[in-house]
Structure 1
């Protein structure tokens, strides 16, 4: 997705999640997994210091992030906007929640037709063609400076 359009992604997903499931549900429509993940340890935090303020902030770090805010026992949809978290939704009515929901929202951001996300065509290409396409991508984005596997072969 182009960087110019990626800034709009949270708004598109929020709108899509609000309309995706039943109006009345037991869980919150949108679970923000980014808020708690951004809690930080106070400067000069001493673990032995039991000040209430420090304890509260340390607890926010322990319970924060994706893993502690989304339910592991129920089906859910989650989209990551950065490594610290994103936005989630607990799926209560699986019949109403379409399996192509995420692709549909991204197609809406990019102004793509429904044929792109509903029934995508499978690429019929050989192993050599896939390798050539991967090599072309590596050259286009300068993958060599990030390729850690080259350090293994140099030794």
Structure 2
């Protein structure tokens, strides 16, 4: 559907508070194709600058060759972004109190500006 309109899709997934069994949020955001091509660069930078400086887990997990379930240990909170057929990135959230639940939307705003 989006391809016929010359749009790309960015899929955002935020899974926080897994111990309280709250559900995750999964969003699909259509973007103009030229912005969709630039989105991986902006999200990579935003993820690298997010969360704690000294983290126990890798800041950026490349999802181009594996699934989120293989990349992030079960039970840990995470944020992931997927760029359709070209894969995406994930980030294990170290401190849920400091990590904003709207992180993906803020990063998309930067892409759109």
TM-score by length of 1: 0.51
Structure number with the higher helix fraction is: 1
Instruction: Give the one of 107, 110, 117 matched to 2:109.
Output: 107
Q: Unaligned regions of 5+ residues in structure 2, if any?
A: 1-30
Deviation sequence 1:34-90 (CA, Å, 0-9, x none)? 1x2xxxxxxxxxxxxxxxxxxxxxxxxxxx322211222100000011246310000
Secondary structure at 1:22's aligned position in 2? coil
Larger radius of gyration: 1
Within the candidate set 1, 10, 31, 2:61 is matched to 31
Residues 65, 84 of structure 1: 8 Å contact kept: no
In the TM superposition, structure 1's runs of 4+ consecutive aligned residues that sit over 4 Å from their partners are none
Name whichever structure is richer in strand by fraction: 2
Residues 33 and 86 in structure 1, CA contact (< 8 A), matched pair in contact too: yes
Structure number with greater CO (CA < 8 Å, separation at least 6) is: 2
Partner Cα separation in structure 2 for residue 83 and residue 68 of structure 1: 17
Q: Does 1:6 align with 2:8?
A: no
Runs (5+) with no aligned partner, structure 1: 37-63, 112-155
Q: CA deviation at 1:31?
A: 0.3
